[in-house]
Amino acid sequence: MSMINYAWEGTKLTRLKMGAVGSSFYLILTIVFFYFLVRLEPLYPGEDTFMRAVGFMFAIIVTSVAFVTCFIMTGLSKRKNLNI
């Protein structure tokens, strides 16, 4: 479990803000890769762009999963008491 849960002191709203700011990098990367996928053109006449498109789709999947995971771990996780 994330150690942020035990160190964080604040309201649920500020936790959501912190999670949104922390995971926004992955959302920006997802948008950038989507833009590259939409603007994909062959580098020379007759080039097959299928493999580059597949690479961009994998990048979009990976960065969107990273965004969701980071947001859930930092912004939506429940705080539990640590009994050590």
21-74 pLDDT, tens digit each = 989 999 999 999 999 999 999 888 888 899 999 999 999 999 999 999 999 888
Residue owning tokens 């989507």: 34
- Residue ranges of alpha helices (H) inside 1-84 are 4-7, 12-38, 50-71
pLDDT reported for residue 15: 83
pLDDT at 1 over 50: no
pLDDT at 82 over 80: no
Helix (H, G, I), strand (E, B) or coil at 75: helix
